[in-house]
Amino acid sequence: MSEELDLHERAQEWMAGDPDPETRHELATLLAAATDVSPVAHEAMVGGALPDAAAATAELADSLSGPLAFGTAGLRGRLGAGPNRMNLAVTRRATAGLCAHLRELVGSDFTVVIGYDARHGSRRFARDAAAVVGAAGGRALVLDEPGPTPLLAFAARHLGADGAVMVTASHNPPQDNGYKVYLGGRAVTGAAQGTQIVPPHDAAIAAAIEAAAPAAQIPADGPWEVVDPAVRAAYLDRVASLAPGEPASALRVVLTSLHGVGGQMATEALQRAGIEVLPVPEQAEPDPDFPTVAFPNPEEPGALDLALNLARAENADLVLANDPDADRCSVAIPAAGAPGGWRQLTGDEIGALLGARAARDHQGQAGALLASSVVSSQLLGRIATAHGLEHRETLTGFKWIARADATDDAVTGGAGAGAARLVFGYEEAIGYCCDPEAVRDKDGISAAVVIARLAAELRAEGRSLQDGLDDLARDHGVHLTAQVSLRVADLSRMTEIMARWRATPPHSLAGSAVEGVSDLALGERLPPTDALIITTADGSRVIVRPSGTEPKLKCYLEVIEAGGDRAEDALHAARERAQSRLEALRTAVEELLEA
């Protein structure tokens, strides 16, 4: 009974501060079912049928178990009522917290630019956030229509905004939404302008959110402006500048936006780069329910099926896929012997091709820097060295990669970054920053343009992206990567495994002696993070870390094999050896995780 009373009190308290009648109604319905209110009484109170009591109790308890944590990724969660869901009340309090933090940093005349995707609730959350900024005395600028995250990241720098908000849940399931925060203008200066928040800003904003009044008491009637469409045009101009002139060879590309908001801009950007675009018609228009995919993530099995079918039917040269907010880009290429005649490239393969292109463009330039997350392939480092450039590893997440040339200790772990200029960065989870001067975040649209033009240039030589990968393997060795994940029901299992591997790391992996164990929690190479790097005598590497977003322990595997001479059969043999070693390493890690 005491638990029911506690739920009742918390629900009533939340509803009293919730400005949205829809979510108040939702919570009232759950409360009525969970506390055995009679159907007649419920009909009189809020109307409608009651859900199952047990299910309602569980849902009510979960929705009230928050608050939804605000961190370096901002907010992300299921849509619904209560503090542990994404809703108008949560986003309004988050905006009040952001405004309070900006006022501390720059004073009362702060500017915030706001973008949003086409998910359920996104437009409403964005415009309510703008009204909160305006009521708090700030200048609020809202993008004129649903758009991709890279456009918002571009607008943040282009307009010199002190803060920026993107309402999106990226590639999450349809029932989710999110609230991503960037700082720039006068709030964050130097190379890090326009990047996603990192400590200590996340903790400061979270504290300001906690101190904020109930949402219903936060003024949300302030003025806001629509961003001039010229900003959208400027972004497209900038992307087009990454592939100047006409390509030397025609290229036909199948493009899918997976029901997201990037399709129109990606199509225009590719066409301006001289690429013929064949959109996947079933997935071209924004649809918040993502009806043709089980999960709207280009990396998920089956997500590219419609695109690959169209590519085969139209005899296309390339498949490009953006996730729903278009900040990531996946690529598939024709491949003899692969199922269906096509192969989806790994995130590391795309990163190597784009990184090599950037390295050639900035060959020998003083201070030019390539960056990748610590869990990405080591190949980019070898490419950088071969072109006389610097390479840096960062923590996972683009909030760190985009700040690789910043000089604050939050990024470098106190080591000092020195004079550098980021020209390319990537993470293995198909995120690429091809134009850091304009967009300090991953950008799936500019990545699509650059990889398509690279494919067109190679085609003009009678070659392909696979040939480009072969060149890199011959020059720098075959680098093969894979992931092994262990999903847990009890989070303490991850803690136990990490503690065990720290105390007694394996003596060997896949028959090769373990030569080094680096504990990133010590903060010697990077800011402290819960991860281990294990290296073996044959050059294999395993990185173990708990996922930051899911109940998973993730292991990133890499093997490196000498590419051999220029002969094709030597490279083929090297790839076979590398694949055999990778499979053995995968088996060894899986056995250790299950032990």
170 is catalytic: yes
Can you say whether the dihedral through the CA atoms of 483, 489, 491, 496 is positive or negative? negative
pLDDT per residue over 575-592, tens digit each?
A: 999 999 999 999 999 999
Lowest-confidence region among 135-139, 147-151, 186-190, 555-559: 186-190
Asked if pLDDT for residue 41 goes beyond 50, the answer is no
Please give, one letter per residue, the 3-state secondary structure of 69-107. Answer: CCECCEEEEEECCCCCCECHHHHHHHHHHHHHHHHHHHC
Structural contact between residues 97 and 87, judged by C-beta atoms closer than 8 angstroms = no
3-state secondary structure of 108: coil
pTM for this prediction: 0.94
Give the model's confidence band at 44: pLDDT under 50 very low, under 70 low, under 90 confident, else very high: very low
DSSP count for the chain of H helices, then E strands: 19, 22
Please, what CATH class does the domain formed by 348-474 belong to? alpha beta
- More confident call, 562 vs 40: 562
> Is 67-228 CATH 3.50.50.60?
no
- One DSSP character per residue, 2-23 reads HHHHHHHHHHHHHHHH---HHH
Task: Look at residues 174, 212, 183, 117 and name the one whose alpha carbon lies nearest to residue 293.
Answer: 174
Structural contact between residues 529 and 521, judged by C-beta atoms closer than 8 angstroms = yes
Catalytic residue among 63, 122, 170, 540: 170
pLDDT in the model for residue 48: 54
Those residues with Cβ within 8 angstroms of residue 274's Cβ, 6 or more apart along the chain or in another chain: 243, 245, 246, 247, 250, 251, 453, 456
pLDDT per residue over 390-429, tens digit each?
A: 999 999 999 999 999 987 645 544 444 457 999 999 999 9
pLDDT per residue over 146-196, tens digit each?
A: 999 999 999 999 999 999 999 999 999 999 999 999 999 999 988 899 999
Please compute the mean of the pLDDT values over residues 532-539 and round it to a whole number. Answer: 96
pLDDT in the model for residue 36: 64
Give the model's confidence band at 569: pLDDT under 50 very low, under 70 low, under 90 confident, else very high: confident
pLDDT per residue over 92-112, tens digit each?
A: 999 999 999 999 999 999 999
pLDDT in the model for residue 54: 83
Lowest-confidence region among 38-52, 145-159, 362-376, 400-414: 38-52
Asked if pLDDT for residue 435 goes beyond 70, the answer is yes
- More confident call, 490 vs 277: 277
Give the model's confidence band at 310: pLDDT under 50 very low, under 70 low, under 90 confident, else very high: very high
**What is 233-344's CATH superfamily?**
Alpha-D-Glucose-1,6-Bisphosphate, subunit A, domain 3 (3.40.120.10)
Quote the CA–CA distance of 149 and 156 in Å, as a whole number. Answer: 11
- Which residue carries 């990748």 as its tokens? 372
**What's the CATH fold of domain 478-594?**
TATA-Binding Protein (3.30.310)
* Domain boundaries for CATH 3.40.120.10 within the chain: 67-228, 233-344, 348-474
Please compute the mean of the pLDDT values over residues 436-461 and round it to a whole number. Answer: 97
Count CB-CB contacts under 10 A for residue 62.
14
Please compute the mean of the pLDDT values over residues 243-262 and round it to a whole number. Answer: 94
CA 529, distance to chain mean position in Å, is 18
Asked if pLDDT for residue 25 goes beyond 80, the answer is yes
How many degrees, rounded to 5, is the angle at CA 156 between CA 366 and CA 442? 60
